[in-house]
Amino acid sequence: MKKDRFLWSAHRITERQKAGKARSIKGKQLKNSRSTVSKQLVALHSSQRDNYISFQIYQEPAEVQRFCGFFFSELLRFRLGGTKDMVTLLSKLWIKSDNYKDSKVREKYGVLCGAVGIFLNVLLFLGKFFAGLLSGAISITADAFNNLSDAGSSFISMIGFKLSGRKPDPDHPFGHGRIEYISGLFVAVMIILMAYELIKDSIGKILHPELPKFSILVAVILVVSIGVKIYMYFYNRSIGRKIESATMIATAKDSLSDTFSTMVVLASALAAHFWKIPIDGYCGLLVGVMILIAGITAMKDTVSPLLGQAPEPELVDEIEKIVRCDKRILGIHDLVVHDYGPGRLMVSLHAEVPYKEDILELHDLIDQIEFSLRKELNCEPVIHMDPIVDDDEETNAAKARITEIIESLNKDSRKNENVQFHDFRMVKGSTHSNLIFDVVLPHGYQMSEEQIIAYIKEKVSEYNKNYYCVIHIDRAYVK
């Protein structure tokens, strides 16, 4: 009996050990599989284009994925470091679109970045103001109020994006996009005013220097502030470039100047603590000058579109590439681009076409080109057709002579200051022939309009006394 009991007990212990080993092996396998899945996730998160991956690697049922897949996937990616930053996560959850040309998408990005800017700048103000009270350093307190002004600037930017996103109305048929430029101008003005106040207070500190108090808490607050401002610089610059927003790029420049200014403030605090050097006022003055330069640069970037700046050369090249996609387009001229705010461009130009081609076919071609411009560049194009005589020997010879005369004017000129001509045509008569064309003068050209006309007429008369020139002077509206 005892022997049987002993065998039964031994058998039970053996079974328990086997079960324990099985659980241990199963646990290790589960742990390894989880580690493999995490590594796969991290590897996939480092891929391009916002590092987006689906949550299908876990093979959940379709109902579960539809119920919580997107949010939980984005949250896990944020925890694992796959999502680039908080703004990217929030934009994925709220905006869910990469069409940066769309006015609604731009408005949402502007409001999102403005709200994040207000939140972060208010936190920085509270932290630095507390640090300024602890240390008695004018540079830290001034830096705190600089962050408070940045919060106000973010609020103005957010309101600007909301207003600029309004639809066109009878009083404003081109929309309200330029409000964004006006809000950017307000941001620049606030930056300049803050720089003035900081410079004034710093001069007073230079005249009456004092050693500020220092503590580890003050240093930690300043270091954290530097990190936050670097983060704000990168996300404002990134999204500003994506949605082509002068306001957000100005905000990014302001964040970068704030980063350097806080570094200078931290250096002054360390110098006062370790070497007893009272450079607080000088550092505040340097910070003020840096902020002033950033404000002036931001003002220039927002004022130029309001005054009417020339389009970028890349845009002009893209327009010409699209328009001249067909060999029947012999050339373009009188290109004008009106900017009524981001995503609101009006483009007008003249397209030269052969005079013998069927007018209905040419009109259909122009319609197709306008559709391509509207689709590719998100603009409203208007194209005028100019018929050109290209098979008359006398006309072509006269045009070649005019080309030589114009090129003689450009021998000593730079490329962007060259004189050009277009719309050339000849009206023949029994006693004389009129050469009718437009001459495009670059702004700031050394010769006056009267001198240019007299020079061309003199050269044409030397070539053929029966040729009379009828010249209209144009100005270039592109670089």
- The whole-model pTM stands at 0.60
Give yes or no for residue 53 having a pLDDT over 60.
Answer: no
Residues 435, 468 contacting (CB under 8 angstroms)? yes
pLDDT at position 122: 93
Give yes or no for residue 111 having a pLDDT over 80.
Answer: yes
Span 69-82, average pLDDT: 40
CA–centroid distance for 234 within its chain: 12
Q: To which residue do tokens 């050097």 refer?
A: 277
pLDDT digits (tens, 9 = 90+) for 337-363: 998 876 688 999 999 999 999 999 999
Q: What is the largest CA-CA distance in the chain?
A: 143
Q: Per residue, what are the HEC states of 401-450?
A: HHHHHHHHHCCCCCHHHCCEEEEEEEECCCCCEEEEEEEEECCCCCCCHH
Give yes or no for residue 319 having a pLDDT over 90.
Answer: yes
Torsion over CA of 345, 350, 352 and 358, rounded to 10 degrees?
90
Give yes or no for residue 57 having a pLDDT over 70.
Answer: no
CA angle 239, 241, 247 (to 5 degrees): 80
pLDDT above 70 covers what percent of the chain? 79
pLDDT at position 7: 43
pLDDT at position 93: 66
- Assign 370 a pLDDT band (cuts: 50, 70, 90): very high
Beta bridge mates, 475:
441
Residues 107, 162 contacting (CB under 8 angstroms)? yes
Residues ≥6 apart with Cβ < 8 Å to 348: 334, 335, 336, 381, 382, 383, 384
User: Any idea which of 27-41, 356-370, 385-399, 414-428 has the lowest mean pLDDT?
Assistant: 27-41
- Assign 32 a pLDDT band (cuts: 50, 70, 90): low
Give yes or no for residue 454 having a pLDDT over 80.
Answer: yes
d(Cα 24, Cα 14) in Å, to the nearest integer?
15
Give yes or no for residue 368 having a pLDDT over 90.
Answer: yes
pLDDT digits (tens, 9 = 90+) for 130-180: 888 888 777 788 788 878 878 877 887 788 777 777 788 888 888 887 887
User: Any idea which of 69-78, 171-180, 322-331 has the lowest mean pLDDT?
Assistant: 69-78
pLDDT digits (tens, 9 = 90+) for 227-273: 999 999 998 888 888 887 877 887 888 888 788 878 888 888 888 88
CA angle 223, 229, 234 (to 5 degrees): 130
Which range of 1-10, 24-33, 290-299 scores highest in mean pLDDT? It is 290-299
Q: How many CB atoms lie within 10 A of CB 204?
A: 11
When the pLDDT of each residue in the chain is averaged and rounded to a whole number, the result is 78
According to DSSP, residue 312 is labeled P
- Assign 15 a pLDDT band (cuts: 50, 70, 90): low
